[in-house]
Chain A
Amino acid sequence: NAGVTQTPKFRVLKTGQSMTLLCAQDMNHEYMYWYRQDPGMGLRLIHYSVGEGTTAKGEVPDGYNVSRLKKQNFLLGLESAAPSQTSVYFCASSYLASGGSYEQYFGPGTRLTVT
């Protein structure tokens, strides 16, 4: 199993450009998540999905859109990139573990710089 993979690993954008980050998981997990990680702020949830065709907003959704057309893929889009979106982006997926908890499995991250 590859687990959770993210494409691309690095990207530099100019302000106003758009891009899509791809997350793929091969563990048949129902739930998927997009986080951003900024120094001193931990991980903050951008959007998440509880199943194919469904998405919901997290803590910091502004400036981002997502889609979950297939169960194994979760796409994060930036329509008009801003310097404030410079960050490391992590995708995660989860399933129902024993005891009713959802352990999350993380991808390796995408480092995005907006100039």
Chain B
Amino acid sequence: AQSVAQPEDQVNVAEGNPLTVKCTYSVSGNPYLFWYVQYPNRGLQFLLKYITGDNLVKGSYGFEAEFNKSQTSFHLKKPSALVSDSALYFCAVTPEGLTGGGNKLTFGTGTQLKVEL
């Protein structure tokens, strides 16, 4: 069975500083990895994904994530945080390939990012 760990419930960072939100995963075979963001009282929005290829993936709003197969990690990063980045961030995983049963994502428990002036 697949699983995702987001070890930090909350990450605090000052505006303008770099941010990292951590994610590690467990899956049989190669992973497909996703990051989603949730603003208050809203649904989840897709940020970026890793399928194959370059280990550094760039996504929406200046976010990027680095896939590290040996460490089974997919940390979300941004070089310069904005107050408007404050939100709840979810990492998700599914095994590579079509299972015939859709793309059943397994989500982490979420990390609350707080960016302060």
Q: A interface vs B, CB < 8 Å?
A: 4, 31, 33, 40-45, 48-50, 56, 58, 90, 92, 94, 99-109
Contacts and interface: CB of A to CB of B under 8 A. Distances in A.
Given A94-B102, A101-B51, A109-B42, A42 B110 contact: yes
A107 B63 CA distance: 22
Contacts of A45: 104-105
Given A41-B109, A43-B90, A45-B104, A107 B34 contact: no
Q: Number of contact residues on B: which range applies?
A: 20 to 34
A100 B51 contact: yes
Residue of A33, A40, A56, A104 most packed against chain B (CB within 10 A): A104
A62 to B, nearest CB: 17
A56 B101 contact: yes
B97 A100 contact: yes
B29 interface: no
Q: Kindly list the 7 A-B residue pairs having the minimum CB-CB distance in the complex, ordered from nearest.
A: A102-B103, A106-B43, A99-B51, A42-B107, A31-B102, A42-B109, A106-B44
B103 A90 contact: no
Interface in B76-103: 90, 94, 96-98, 100-103
A105 B32 CA distance: 16
A6 to B, nearest CB: 8
7 contacts: A41-B109, A43-B107, A100-B96, A101-B32, A101-B94, A106-B43, A106-B44
A95 to B, nearest CB: 10
Contacts of B42: 108-109
A108 B45 CA distance: 10
A109 to B, nearest CB: 6
Nearest to B44: A106
Contact of B104 (A58, A106, A107): A58
B22 to A, nearest CB: 15
Contacts of B51: 99-101
